[in-house]
Amino acid sequence: MFSFIDILKRFEEGPYMEEKDFDIKIVYKNIKRLIKEYDIKYNPEEIITVDNSLADDVFKAGFELALETGIYCLDTKRVLKFTEEEIKEGLKTAPAQIIIGEGRDSRVLYARKIEDSRAPIIMGGQAGAPIPEEFYYQMAISYMQEPIIDAINHGGLAKVKGLEVKTRSPAEAIATMMELRYLREAARASGRPGIHLLAAESSVTCIGDLAAQSEEFLRKSDAHLIPILNEVKTDYDRLTKAITFKIYGGINVALVDPIIGGYFGGPEGVAIGFIASYLMSRIIYQADYYIIHPIHFKYVSTSVPEGMWILNIVGQAMARNTNFILMGDVWTSNGAGSYEIFWEIIANTITNVVTGSHPLGVSATNGKYPHASGLETRFMGEVAHASTKLKRSDANEIVKTFLRKYHPKRTEKPNIGKVFPELYDVETIKPKEWWLKLYEKAKKEAIDHGIKLE
Amino acid sequence: MYIDIIEKSEIGPYMEEHDFDKLLIKEVKELIKAYDINYDHEEIIPSDDTLANDLWRAGYELILRVGGYNMSTRRRLVFTEEEIKHVLRNLPDKIIIGQGQFQKIMIHRNIEGYEEPIFENGPSGTLVSEDIYFETMIAMAQEDYIDAIGSGSLTTIRGREIKVGSPLEVEAAIFIALTTRKALKMVNKDGLHINDVAVTTPWAKIAAVSNDWGIRKSDSMLVAQMVELKVTNEHIALAKYMLNHGIIVANLMTPIWGGYGGASPGTAIISVAEHILGVLAYGALKHYLSLTHMLNCNNTGRETLWVISTVGQAIARNSKMIALHDCYCAAGPGTKMLLYEVSAGAITACVSGLHGTGIGSAGGKYPDHATGIEGRLYGEVIKSCVAKLKRKDANDIVKLILKKYEAKLNEVKGVIPGKSFRELYDLRTIKPSREWVNIYNEVRKELANLGLPLRI
């Protein structure tokens, strides 16, 4: 395995290249070639495919892409290229299971297989959303008090005591420490002091992550996100995050969130790009687990057909060919408080769980507004557990049925629902009666469609 | 859904304790009939899945009909079906115990499951003298086949008798935790899971929590239910404290065979109900079935092994709970009979979906009558049987082993003290005497000849 010193040296010594050339001459060109060579085709009728050879071809194409392109460093303008042996070494050393959290709240996070009957780990929270400080604590409790939720990935603070958190300002340090303080207090108040946190979301740069590396804030049993920049790029900031947190003893999580319609092209190219990004993030970030988050250029949400097809094929490709632990995002266009959100959750969650990833969400309104709560994540958890009884072909039919209910009508014009204090009584932190009734109704509808909710 | 057990303890129906006991006896009798739960002395380890399912339903219904009883507020704890289902559904099916290289994943086991059971070794329920506490714990910790360690109670602290409820219990809790941790360090096993500090008063256990020298988040402590299906505010408070510190709550059940449940069927129904109550009242993730025969103070007789097996199977088939057989034997150390009892218990637990813990030698009645050897055998047997025995084979072997001690058990109607740790170990080297090791080796050979998959 590479040391971080080796990686930094290679980023200084690799071939020099302008970013634009890397994007067009290397990434775009190779992706186009590989899609054709491996005959990768997106099929909206098979959101969840049963074709194992397609999954294997996507993996092979992704492996080749990693070999051909390498990864670009924005600061040095140089490309780090890997040999086949080096990538294989990363595959060999990837942990198939890790222990997250502490004490009675610890869990075994493991690499899921296709149609895996084991209970998935449920990671709850409105990941990626800016959450107002005034109800951050109560909102966090709304997730942590749900016993079905095993781990937390909640949003960050965009403002602290009225101060806007600007990128690369010291406010990032303050905001991240505050975020962790609220999360820790919420965990304690919920009787789950050791629950695993995937956190430090208030900071874009490494400032917040550095400030939070302590037992008081982000513990060694916790994790933080390190993005692969779009597409197949990194910078010194992300590398600092990875290096310091690994030396501290914590858990690194690679966030891969390419844009459908970007330099990777359509769903086929994005799927290939995902594989390459994972293989390389294992080496440069020493990542322990990985997020699948395809971003649709128009709808953003992961619950649209292209997004779910990517979740499906990347999940299956990785499950069949590696031991990597994947968390599949559940990002919905509709907000909590709407009925439509439940349809999106059903389709998106089933896709993730049946094809080899654990579900992470629900990031309602695509993380734009704090229109989210613990209740719809409870629903996500229940659907996830029921999904372990589904085969891919049956799951595909259910997913398409629900997809038709919300797409494109409610992804074009989503029902953004309501803000957290309108969904929950913020004193008792209990869901309001009307919101609970919508949830019960959605459960009934899911059961009527053959989803075996307990 | 959050179950407020404190609120339930305050607003539940008021009832005198003996009225609760009467209600329990009546309902158990009805449920035995309704679910047709029958004991068959030839099927100590039944292979009948419907029996396991019926027993689960009966225990579940007992919780719905009777609930639990809070002795502090004299109120019955009433639960709705929705609450019970919700809590059981959301239990994790695996937990992580211990630290570093001694960290283990403890899972919900299945009947005849292929997953290796955890074995927790210690002088269960036995008083240990202050002057040899450290040596006793080393004797337990140094054994192979163990995944965790449990402590015994302490007779005195600096020579003073430890009375229940006395502040000396705080000192005892600290002494036990400190000494157990020291013993683990001594045998290079710091990081091994500690399952309890054995003091009676719940709040005294809180004093033992320390990441440096005592109970860590990777450890657990027992929170007891009183006989039968009873809790107190003090026990609830201890459980709350542990939940808030991220320490695994272990539900200790001591149902009495021959008590309110009567014989095996009723005792089994109560035992299942006590597992469920442990989750509802304490938020427990580990469950210790410390069944006690009213005369022999053990759970290795024919009737009690049937309870262990059927309850284990009921839990394994119908829930995600992580359950352990807490092995109590009538015979004491230095006897062949203790080792026969231990083996029968371990085989039964292994194929019935349970993990193991113990050993309560001589029913835990005689101070210092606990050694590492009986745990060595339990650990070896429970792990050796995995994937090698089906319930039917296990039943045949257990019946053969029972032949070796059942008559004696019926004859003594009590416990057989055996010898003390001082008599069976060299206290300087902490090695078992040649005599005790020879007995152990003889029994191992006998067990192998009976078809037990031990490596001789």
Domains of chain A, earliest start first: 97-448 (3.20.20.460)
Residue A187 phi/psi, 5-degree rounding, is -65, -45
Q: Considering the domain boundaries, does residue B203 fall inside one? A: yes
Query: What average pLDDT does range A41-59 have in this prediction?
Result: 97
Task: List residues bridging with A444 in a β-sheet.
Answer: none
- For this complex, say whether ipTM is above 0.85: no
Q: Considering the domain boundaries, does residue B69 fall inside one? A: no
Return the pLDDT at B1: 52
User: Cβ separation of A103 and B249 shorter than 8 Å?
Assistant: no
Q: Considering the domain boundaries, does residue B72 fall inside one? A: no
Q: Considering the domain boundaries, does residue B10 fall inside one? A: no
Measure the CA dihedral A6/A11/A13/A15, to 10°.
140
* DSSP element (H, E) containing B10: helix B5-11
Nearest CA in chain A to B241: A191
pLDDT of A454 higher than 90: no
Residue B265 phi/psi, 5-degree rounding, is -60, -45
**What CATH number has the domain bearing residue B153?**
3.20.20.460
Return the pLDDT at A112: 98
The single-letter code of the amino acid at A338 is S
In a mutational test of the A interface, the residue from B83, B244, B285 whose CB has the highest number of chain A CBs within 10 Å is B244
Q: Which of B323, B330, B286 is nearest to B308 (CA)?
A: B323
Query: What average pLDDT does range B43-59 have in this prediction?
Result: 98
Closest CA of chain A from B300, distance in Å: 31
In the predicted model, what is the mean pLDDT of chain A?
96
Residues of A with CB below 8 A from B218's CB? 102-103
Contact (Cβ atoms closer than 8 angstroms) between residue B289 and residue B311: yes
The 3-class SS string of B228-291 reads: CCEECHHHHHHHHHHHHHCCEEEEEECCEECCCCCCHHHHHHHHHHHHHHHHHHHCCCEEEECC
> Mind listing the pLDDT tens digit for each residue in A300-344?
999 999 999 999 999 999 999 999 999 999 999 999 999 999 999
> Mind listing the pLDDT tens digit for each residue in B218-255?
999 999 999 999 999 999 999 999 998 999 999 999 99
Q: Considering the domain boundaries, does residue B328 fall inside one? A: yes
d(CA A376, CA A357): 19
Residue with the two structure tokens 């020579």: B159
> Mind listing the pLDDT tens digit for each residue in A66-99?
999 999 999 999 999 999 999 999 999 999 999 9
- For β-strands B322-328 and B425-426, DSSP reports them as unpaired
Q: Considering the domain boundaries, does residue B17 fall inside one? A: no
Contacts of A391 (CB under 8 A, 6+ apart): A115, A354
Residues of A with CB below 8 A from B90's CB? 147-148
Return the pLDDT at A27: 96
Return the pLDDT at B455: 75
> pLDDT > 70: what percent of chain B?
99
pLDDT of B3 higher than 90: no
> pLDDT > 90: what percent of chain B?
96
d(CA A249, CA A272): 31
| Domains of chain B: total | 1
In the predicted model, what is the mean pLDDT of chain B?
96
B91, B92, B246: residue with CB nearest A107: B92
Instruction: Specify the length of chain B in residues.
Output: 456
Nearest CA in chain A to B219: A103
Residue with the two structure tokens 């009508």: A409
Return the pLDDT at A153: 98
| Three-state DSSP class for residue A436 | helix
Residue A290 phi/psi, 5-degree rounding, is -140, 145
Query: What average pLDDT does range B414-431 have in this prediction?
Result: 97
A124-to-A37, A134, A306, A330 alpha-carbon distances in Å: 39, 20, 23, 10
> Mind listing the pLDDT tens digit for each residue in B245-254?
999 999 999 9
A452 touches chain B (CB under 8 A): no
A95 touches chain B (CB under 8 A): no
d(CA A47, CA A136): 35
Provide the b/e sequence for B142-168 (b: ≥16 CB within 10 Å): bbebbbbbbbbbbbebeeeebeeebeb
Other Cβ atoms less than 10 A from the Cβ of A385: the count is 20
Contacts of B294 (CB under 8 A, 6+ apart): B256, B257, B258, B259
Measure the CA dihedral B56/B282/A151/B219, to 10°.
-110
B62: tokens are 């007992």
pLDDT of B2 higher than 80: no
Q: Which of A376, A321, A381 is nearest to A352 (CA)?
A: A381
Residues of A with CB below 8 A from B94's CB? 107-108
d(CA B52, CA B40): 14
Q: Considering the domain boundaries, does residue B346 fall inside one? A: yes
**Report field, pTM of the whole predicted structure over 0.95:** no
d(CA B451, CA B159): 48
User: Cβ separation of B283 and A192 shorter than 8 Å?
Assistant: no
Residue with the two structure tokens 């319930």: B391
Residues of B with CB below 8 A from A150's CB? 92
Range of the domain at B143: 94-449
Q: Considering the domain boundaries, does residue B184 fall inside one? A: yes
pLDDT band at B4 (very low <50, low <70, confident <90, very high): confident
> Mind listing the pLDDT tens digit for each residue in A213-229?
999 999 999 999 999 99
